[in-house]
Chains A and B, each alone.
Chain A
Amino acid sequence: MQLRLSEEERMIQKTIRDFARKDLAAVADQANLDAVFQDEIYRKLGELGFMGVTVPEEYGGVDLGTFCLTLALEEISMVCPATAIAVSVHNELANSIVLRYGSDAVKNKFLPAMASGRSIGVYAITETEAGSDVSAIRMSAVREGDEYILNGNKIFISTGDKAGVIIVVARTNADDRTGGLTAFLVEPNFPGFSIGKTEHKMGMKASTTVELVFEDCRVPAGNVLGSPGMGMKIALGALDGGRIGIASQALGIAQGAMDSAVLFARERSQFGQRIIDFQGTKWKIADMAVKLDAARLLVYRAARMKDAGEQCSKEASMAKLYATRIANEIAYESMQIHGGVGYTEEFRIERLFRDARVTEIYEGTSEIQRLVIAKKVIEEYEQAYPS
């Protein structure tokens, strides 16, 4: 597997790194204190091509792969993990679902605006009773002539209030738990659609998380993605990429936390010496470095496999499980190394520490990742050692 970056990948990394450290860093602290979504940042990211990373050129994208997106999410998350949410969901879930399952008419209509970042795509699965268990979705979709009528609520939808395109999964058949779900493309101006309550979260504050309300919301039948009944497959199928995206976000958080820990420890002195010179600090730094490298290898492997068109559910889940865990561990130790100032809003580590937490929860909790991994591993054993 190719671990070193190609010349092109290094150029991409340089662009997004410079952008993150300059443009994004200039607004990130305030945006997270005020909990405001940065439209301007997404406009610029769109201009630079980062909202259409995996979309083919015919639809205005740049047709680069998941690995390129990994590099971007990593750099963005070192500075502002909240900004990475919409970049990941938009590219890995919304764009890729429209590209793969949209009709030609749908693709032509929506993808160019999505790929340029003018229209942000979001992914709406979660309901009050359907979190980890997607098959428990209740929101109903009933066919009426050329339309479907949607009724129900989606909760916890990232960037839902800024969306131009909403991928929704609803129930078209009450009797078939997993085969009775259908995916739709909804536009926010459809009659019967509205934004409900906004969540007040522990972290990721510059990313909005809202409820979406559908009251007799009319969706043209042409906006069905794939075919009726494919909803579950579409929702879960896109998650390989989505999970690599969140793993990359976690990697960026871990790197950012590690960087501030080491730089801080070099500057701070207590008991007449720099705290980096205490053996206790050194051990922390060594552990952080090993975890970070191991996570990066897992994430890069999953991304490279995805780009090579290989089946990578297990590897994507492994990358997400591990990278999100160590992001929390490293953020925890980094704050510890910072001492009291690390607990204040003056230092980025305070924000990274809070932001890290949810990476173990969304796009499949760590427990769900373990279920996916164990299922695959046991299957592999069954094949190698048939009983």
Chain B
Amino acid sequence: MKIIVLLKRVPDTEAKILINQEGTGIRKDGVKFVINTYDEYGIEEGLKLKEKLGGDSKVTVFCLGPEESTEVIRTALAMGADDAVHICDPALESPAPFTTSAVLAKAIKDEGFDIIFCGKQGIDDDTAQVQGGIAEALGIPQVNIASSFELSEDGSRALIGRRIEGGNEKIESALPVIVTCDKGINEPRYASLPGIMKAKKKEIRTRTLADLGFDEMPAAGRSKILKWLPLPKGGECRMVEAEEVSDAVKELARLLREEAKII
């Protein structure tokens, strides 16, 4: 089985995020980058499936990102993935989700695939759009926010659990399918020292837009980030105090109308 896992390189959750001066992105100096947390669940699910199936099953990592992404790719290889495709092109400096999906879909199609695992969203932009875009471009079903995964006994269908308000949902899907993983679906393994040593010898194939047969950026212009802005600073908290609750409410209403001018 050809198992594909998607991996995004994102700023560490502990990193302090600042907008750059031009307002075109975040400041990257001093920021540590890691594998998108949710993608770790995808990698683990892919590895578990491979271990279960044995034989010539193979886990291939796909990552679209800058040159420095090799570090997170190697980490996935150290966890146990077999090889990787790194899509790296100066034109893809900060691609819109549509572009990312189109490019990844093409690369995955070229590689061949039976199933795709990834995180339910990137913890940086939180758009959760790339997965849907890939499913659309490949014409395959997509099941989101999976909390469990297994193959049917004959191996022809995917059985996916989802936590929903007040219960669990079981979904059966044809293959290939793209499954986006939620926290709790598994406990991602650590990259062990032997794994890190082995990863050095595993292959990372680099692909540019041209390698993938794109003459120009796909889906360019369908969405565009105009400007990045820092969150407005939170205002001071003011406590309204009064003997009677009713007086406090009146005072609050007055403040909202006369000072804050919002009602």
What residues make up the interface of A, taking CB atoms closer than 8 Å to B?
7-8, 10-12, 14-15, 18-19, 47-50, 53, 57, 62-64, 68
**Interface bin, chain B:** 10 to 19
- Specify the chain A residue showing the minimal Cβ separation from B200: A8
Instruction: Out of A7, A64, A68, name the residue touching B71 (CB < 8 Å).
Output: A7
Q: A44: shortest Cβ distance to chain B, in Å? A: 9
Q: Does B54 contact A (CB under 8 A)?
A: no
Partner of B78, one of A11, A57, A63: A11
- Verify if B120 is at the interface (C-beta below 8 Å from A): no
| Interface residue? B192 (CB, 8 A) | yes
Q: When the two chains form their complex, are residues A11 and B196 in contact, meaning their CB atoms are under 8 A apart?
A: yes
26 contacts between A and B (CB under 8 A): A7-B70, A8-B74, A8-B196, A8-B200, A10-B71, A11-B74, A11-B78, A11-B191, A11-B196, A12-B193, A12-B196, A14-B34, A14-B191, A15-B191, A15-B193, A18-B190, A19-B190, A48-B192, A48-B193, A49-B192, A49-B195, A50-B193, A57-B197, A62-B193, A62-B196, A64-B193
Report if B194 contacts A (CB, 8 A): yes
User: Closest A-chain residue to B72, C-beta based?
Assistant: A11
- Taking CB atoms, residues of chain B closer than 8 Å to A68 are 193
Interfacial chain A residues near B192, Cβ < 8 Å: 15, 47-49
Asked if residues B197 and A62 are in contact (CB atoms below 8 Å), the reply is yes
Top-3 shortest CB links A-B: A49-B193, A62-B193, A48-B192
CA–CA, A12 to B193, complex, Å? 7
- State the Cβ distance, A178 to closest chain B Cβ, in Å: 38
Interface residues of B in 149-201 (CB under 8 A from A): 190-197, 200
Q: Is there an interface contact between B70 and A48, defined as CB atoms closer than 8 Å?
A: no
Smallest CB–CB gap between A117 and chain B, Å? 11
Q: Mark B52-95, 1 if CB is under 8 A from A, else 0.
A: 00000000000000000011001100100000000000000000
- Which of A8, A10, A19, A62 is B194 in contact with, Cβ under 8 Å? A62
A165: min CB distance to chain B, Å: 21
> Once the chains are docked, how many angstroms separate the CA of A49 from the CA of B196?
10
Contacts A8-B196, A12-B196, A14-B34; is A48 near B190 (CB within 8 Å)? yes
* Residue among A7, A15, A57 facing the most chain B CB atoms (10 A cut-off): A15
How many pairs, one residue from A and one from B, have CB atoms within 8 Å of each other in the complex? 45
Contacts of A8 in B (CB 8 A): 74, 196, 200
Closest B residue, CB atoms, query A64: B193
Closest to B188 in A: A18
Q: How far is the CA of A8 from the CA of B194 in the complex (A)?
A: 12
Report chain A residues within 8 Å CB of B194.
Answer: 49, 62
Residues in chain B near residue A18, CB distance under 8 A: 190
Besides A8-B74, A10-B71, A48-B193, 10 other A-B contacts (C-beta < 8 A) = A7-B70, A8-B200, A12-B196, A15-B191, A15-B192, A19-B190, A50-B193, A62-B196, A62-B197, A64-B193
Please state if B75 and A14 are interface contacts (CB–CB under 8 Å): yes
Please measure, in the bound complex, the distance between the C-alpha atom of A14 and the C-alpha atom of B194, giving whole angstroms. Answer: 14
Which residues of the other chain, B, contact A50 by a CB distance below 8 angstroms?
193
Specify which chain A residues have a CB less than 8 angstroms from the CB of B78 in the assembled complex: 11
A57 to B74, CA, bound (A): 20
Contacts of A47 in B (CB 8 A): 192
In the assembled complex, the CB of A53 is this many whole angstroms from the nearest CB of chain B, namely 7
A22: min CB distance to chain B, Å: 9
With both chains docked as a complex, state the minimum distance between the C-beta of B84 and any C-beta of chain A, in angstroms. Answer: 14
A64 CA / B195 CA spacing, docked (Å) = 13
B194-211 interface mask toward A, CB cutoff 8 Å, 1 = contact, 0 = none? 111100100000000000
Contact residues in B for A7 (Cβ distance below 8 Å): 70-71, 74
How far does the alpha carbon of A99 sit from the alpha carbon of B197 in the complex, in Å?
A: 20
- Identify the closest chain A residue to B187 (Cβ): A22
Looking at the assembled complex, report how far the CB atom of A56 sits from the nearest CB atom of chain B, in whole angstroms. Answer: 12
Determine the distance from Cα of A57 to Cα of B194 in the docked complex, in whole angstroms.
9
Find chain B residues with CB under 8 A from A15 CB: 190-193, 196
Which residues of chain B have C-beta atoms less than 8 A from A62's C-beta? Answer: 193-194, 196-197
B81 to chain A, nearest CB (A): 14
CA A63 – CA B196 in complex, angstroms?
Answer: 12
**Do B75 and A11 touch (CB < 8 A)?**
yes
Most chain B beta carbons < 10 A, residue from A7, A10, A64: A7
Bound complex: CA of A256 vs CA of B190, how far in Å?
22
C-alpha gap A205/B64 in the complex (Å): 48
Contacts of A11 in B (CB 8 A): 71, 74-75, 78, 191, 196
